[in-house]
Amino acid sequence: MSRSSARSVVKEIATGFEDLEVPRSEEPDDGPIGWPGYRSAREAAEKRTGEDESVVCGIARIGDVEAIVIAFEFGFLGGSIGQRTGDRVEAAFARAVGSRLPVVSLIATGGSRMQHGMRALSQLQRIARAAAGARSVPQISVLRDPTTGGGWATLGASADVVLALPGAQVGFAGSRVRPADASPEAYTAEAKLAWGQVDQIVASADLPAALERWLRLLTSPTPEAAEPPGALGATDLPGSGWDAVQAARSAERPRAAEYLDVYFDWREEVSGDRCGGVDAGVLCGFGWRGGRAIAYAAQCGTPTSPAGFRTAARLVRLASRLGIPVLTLVDTPGAANDEAAERAGAGAAIAELFEAVASAVVPITTLVIGEGGSGGALAFAAPGSTWVTPDAYFSVTSPEAAAAILKLPADEVPALADRLRLRPQDLVDLGIARSVVGPAPTCV
């Protein structure tokens, strides 16, 4: 499928495709910079593909959702981006905004068209401006083989959700201009997934269903807040602060993935901070529950890295922009505080998530399901809209860290846990949590 024609790819994922009518801009026979032989090369490409440009744009239905589709024809001069490519992409985004339709970009391009010189390169600015001006609608990109150069650095990497076909060549540098000693594996969809730049790798056969699910999730705004999940673990409140800490740290306590599986009918994950990092201890995405979409960002009980905070911030900003409520699950002993975390900008990453939560225009619901360790946990929490399970705690810092800060002996740690007032019932009394949740319906 990765080297299939643009129209065959569209036919596999959508029904009822209708081309957009875009006026053809004037262009000399040999292009804007008079490239020798360009006319004959273009005519050969038209004959070979049946297309008159490297991109096909139109309206189609993917599942039950109508969408604008931008599909690159790699057989037409390597899917290269020229002036008329820019014309069509710009018109596609304008139509998307005017009709309030999501955009799906099926990318297969080697980058800018050499025969157009700087006129081709400047199309990237047009495309970027068009995509930025269409942030009121969801944007999904599908990275086919290859997705390189400006196609990756605009439509591909800037999309809200980035999907990729297995084995697709993905990178800013095309295969002919990379360093001689560069590893080919670095320019693959799989590498981009590992480095936090792709959300999912989807097999060709699974792409229609995946796009249908994603479009359904991203085009279902609702104003109502997500209800907090019910407790899946212990139902009895702890007698002491130290009891609360031990319950939260128990290996038997349910973790975030279990809560998400019970809470949602089905869900799709986003992955990575788009800056080269992935935190496996933070789950983010969108799920379907009771006929509506809810976004989620959940800690999984490990120290949260800068990549985890940035991924959660990306999720919250996207959900806020699309009008989709957010559920966050708090469970971390604290933010990662080793040298690697400091080098990766731990403070700035935590600040980014605090800002995303503070500026969100959609309701955010938080449930503390385990350890609530200091600011690394608080960054995931919604002020005034936080609940807590009976087997969780939330504290200014861990009892052990408090002892170290106050220069107290280790045998005073259990007593400090009481003084910190970190039990679920204490959090309600302090006004930090609204209430302790009861058992989930499935656990009654």
CA atoms within 13 A on the CB side of 103: 32
pLDDT band at 2 (very low <50, low <70, confident <90, very high): very low
Instruction: Write down the pLDDT at residue 442.
Output: 58
**Chain-centre distance for alpha carbon 118:** 32
- Distance from C-alpha of 14 to C-alpha of 6, rounded to nearest angstrom: 12
408 DSSP assignment: -
Instruction: Write down the pLDDT at residue 266.
Output: 98
pLDDT tens, 328-378? 999 999 999 999 999 999 999 999 999 999 999 999 999 999 999 999 999
pLDDT of 58 over the 90 cut: yes
Q: What is the mean pLDDT of residues 167-176?
A: 86
Q: β-strands 282-289, 55-62: how paired? A: unpaired
- Distance from C-alpha of 204 to C-alpha of 244, rounded to nearest angstrom: 48
- Distance from C-alpha of 107 to C-alpha of 132, rounded to nearest angstrom: 18
From the number of C-beta atoms within 10 Å of its C-beta (0-12, 13-18, 19+), residue 251 rates as exposed
pLDDT band at 441 (very low <50, low <70, confident <90, very high): confident
70 DSSP assignment: E
Q: Ramachandran region of residue 217, left (φ > 0), alpha (ψ -120 to 50) or beta?
A: alpha
Instruction: Write down the pLDDT at residue 178.
Output: 76
Query: What tokens were used for 200?
Result: 């999912």
CA proximity to 76, closest of 99, 53, 98: 53
From the number of C-beta atoms within 10 Å of its C-beta (0-12, 13-18, 19+), residue 442 rates as exposed
CA proximity to 234, closest of 248, 218, 215: 248
Q: Which residues pair with 104 in a beta bridge?
A: 69, 140
pLDDT tens, 72-82? 999 999 999 99
Query: What tokens were used for 91?
Result: 């018109």
pLDDT band at 186 (very low <50, low <70, confident <90, very high): confident
**Chain-centre distance for alpha carbon 256:** 18
- H or E stretch including 334? none
Instruction: Write down the pLDDT at residue 175.
Output: 76
- H or E stretch including 207? helix 207-218
Instruction: Write down the pLDDT at residue 182.
Output: 75
**Amino acid at the residue 124:** L
pLDDT of 97 over the 90 cut: yes
- Distance from C-alpha of 370 to C-alpha of 391, rounded to nearest angstrom: 6
124 DSSP assignment: H
Given a contact cutoff of 8 angstroms between Cβ atoms, the answer to whether 199 and 270 are in contact is: yes
Mean pLDDT rounded to a whole number for the chain: 94
Instruction: Write down the pLDDT at residue 4.
Output: 86
Q: β-strands 139-148, 103-109: how paired? A: parallel
- Distance from C-alpha of 23 to C-alpha of 16, rounded to nearest angstrom: 22
Instruction: Write down the pLDDT at residue 172.
Output: 86
Using CA atoms of 83, 87, 93, 96 in order, give the dihedral in degrees to the nearest 10. -150
Residue-wise burial string across 274-288, b where 16 or more C-beta atoms lie within 10 A, e elsewhere = bbebbbebbbbbbbb
Q: Report the range of poorest mean pLDDT among 3-7, 354-358, 391-395, 400-404.
A: 3-7
In the chain, what percentage of residues exceed pLDDT 90? 91
Q: Report the range of poorest mean pLDDT among 31-35, 298-302, 313-317, 361-365.
A: 31-35
- Distance from C-alpha of 322 to C-alpha of 153, rounded to nearest angstrom: 23
Instruction: Write down the pLDDT at residue 49.
Output: 95
Q: β-strands 139-148, 15-19: how paired? A: unpaired
